[in-house]
Amino acid sequence: MAADSPTVASDTGLTVSPTAPSPLTAAQQSAVAELLRVSPVADDLGRRFHAAGHELYLVGGSVRDALLGRLGDDLDFCTDARPQRVLELLSGWAEATWTTGIEFGTVGAARRGLRLEITTYRAEAYDRQSRNPVVRYGDSLADDLVRRDFAVNAMAVGLPDHRFVDLHGGLEDLTSRTLRTPGTPEDSFADDPLRMLRAARFASQLQFEVAPEVVAAMTAMADQITRITAERVRDELTKLICGADPVTGLRLLVDTGLAAHVLPELPNMRMEIDEHAQHKDVYEHTLTVLRQAIDLETDGPDFVLRMAALLHDIGKPATREIQSGGGVSFHHHEVVGAKMTRRRMKALRYPKDVTEQVATLVFLHLRFHGYGRGEWTDSAVRRYVTDAGDLLPRLHRLVRSDCTTRNKRRAAALARSYDTLEERIARLQAEEDLARIRPDLDGNAIMELLGVPPGPVVGKAWKHLKEVRLDRGQLSREEAEAELFRWARENGIVAD
């Protein structure tokens, strides 16, 4: 159906193409409610473009989310107007504009609490070798919609008349919760291989099923993802992991072979279980831990916790040993895993602070299992808290989610042990303010007592006194000074 095909007006205010189901579906009713919420701004902008002789459509994810009843405050539009003309039409109307995406035909604007992105119709294509798109402006809405990633993202609503345009069966796919491409998936993925990752991301975020022909194309073309920059891969992977059902998306990456190129540690955790070396399959265990970690979240998706759950056992394949009795061990897999985590997240261009947070959780996740039945000294508890630092709440959740045994008695015993540990931590925190543990002497006191200037000696002395503080608890001033001089004598800093 062409973009200018006849349309049918409904009594709800949304005008639909004759190919769309009639009467209006529940999804379309949701769209009407969402559009009414944003229409004072959207329709005003549409009238402004129409008066200047240009078309304007709400498009893509905004229409999809409106149909799902979850439209946010970020709105996407497309138009036949070129970017400079868009800026002219926004002048005096928008409260702010920005041009960070203008090389791709996009102009941003703010109006009454809404963020708007207005993009000139595109017929974007890759040269199928480079990593970046070659932007070519299209001549019509139809040109723009056919180049979009999935049919559910290829619907549009005209402004200000609210004419609904669905050229590729997006509404039907939305109803069946299916992801298909407007054209052939092979052509779509050849143009932009990142769309393969986006399919897995939408499977996670929207909990949609990916059509068989799309999965087949993803499998056949998985190696094409290497054309995409690490930053773009990272952004899609982050959205997938923070989705409502990341396990489904991750399974799709593994099953299609995409994970072998973007997160190879994940498929590498699949281990053969044979009669001589039976153990939990690390891959399945990891996905269960991820689900359980999500269940423990209290304030929305926590990427650091989820990524740590996903990577906590990546060191196991490299440390796997078959023991003489037929058992399997993974000694120091948390140490190896933390190093592997840093390497992978660095390759994906994650920020250093985020990488370090995830790696620290991977490194610490196994320490609790030395707690046994409460044999830890207060010193060991202090170190656990101090080493975790601000990550302690996440470490609590990760450790608890790492219990996937089907033995209910063992699971209950582990939960009780961790309950006991948390109670001890709370008691010590109340008594000693563990979050702010410092040596009993500060740097100025150390320099004054030892008669040394600022430098490495002061740092070493401070670190030693902190270790003593963790081991023995708070010292009196006299005890701290005696310990400082004892250490200084042993290290030749002061004479006996």
pLDDT tens sequence across 142-167: 999 998 999 999 999 999 988 889 99
Of the ranges 127-136, 137-146, 271-280, 402-411, the best mean pLDDT one: 137-146
Residue-level pLDDT at 317: 84
- Name 230's Cβ contacts closer than 8 Å, sequence gap at least 6: 347, 348, 349
Dihedral (CA of 9, 14, 18, 24) sign: negative
Q: What is the mean pLDDT of the chain?
A: 86
- Is residue 298 helix, strand or coil? coil
- Torsion, Cα of 489, 492, 495, 496 (10° steps): 40
Q: Is the pLDDT of residue 378 over 60?
A: yes
Q: What angle do CA 79, 85, 91 make, to 5 degrees?
A: 110
Burial of 129 (0-12, 13-18, 19+ CB in 10 A): exposed
> Regarding beta strands 163-166 and 15-16, do their DSSP bridges make them parallel or antiparallel, or are they unpaired?
parallel
Residue-level pLDDT at 8: 32
Q: Is the pLDDT of residue 15 over 70?
A: no
Q: Is the pLDDT of residue 29 over 80?
A: no
Residue-level pLDDT at 496: 64
Q: Which CATH superfamily is domain 1-176 in?
A: Beta Polymerase, domain 2 (3.30.460.10)
Q: Is the pLDDT of residue 277 over 50?
A: no
The closest of 288, 310, 285, 297 to 394, measured between CA atoms, is: 297
Average the pLDDT over 63-88 and give the result: 93
* Cut 0.75: pTM above it: yes
Burial of 377 (0-12, 13-18, 19+ CB in 10 A): exposed
- Going from the C-alpha of 293 to that of each of 79, 110, 175, 258, 419, the distances in angstroms are 43, 37, 30, 24, 17
Average the pLDDT over 468-477 and give the result: 80
Ranking 43-57, 163-177, 244-258, 404-418 by mean pLDDT, the lowest is: 404-418
The predicted-structure confidence for 97-113, as pLDDT tens digits, reads as follows 999 989 889 999 999 99
The predicted-structure confidence for 38-51, as pLDDT tens digits, reads as follows 889 999 999 999 99
* Domain ranges (residues) in the chain: 1-176, 302-436, 443-490
389 vs 180 pLDDT, higher one: 180
Average the pLDDT over 62-87 and give the result: 93
Q: Is the pLDDT of residue 22 over 80?
A: no
The predicted-structure confidence for 325-335, as pLDDT tens digits, reads as follows 656 667 778 89
Q: Is the pLDDT of residue 11 over 50?
A: no
Task: Give the pLDDT band (50/70/90) at residue 2.
Answer: very low
The predicted-structure confidence for 163-211, as pLDDT tens digits, reads as follows 889 999 999 999 899 999 998 999 999 989 999 999 999 999 999 999 9
d(CA 411, CA 430): 29
Q: Is there a contact between 45 and 159 (Cβ–Cβ < 8 Å)?
A: yes
Dihedral (CA of 222, 227, 232, 233) sign: positive
Q: Is the pLDDT of residue 6 over 60?
A: no
Residue-level pLDDT at 243: 95
Paired residues of 134 in beta bridges: 125
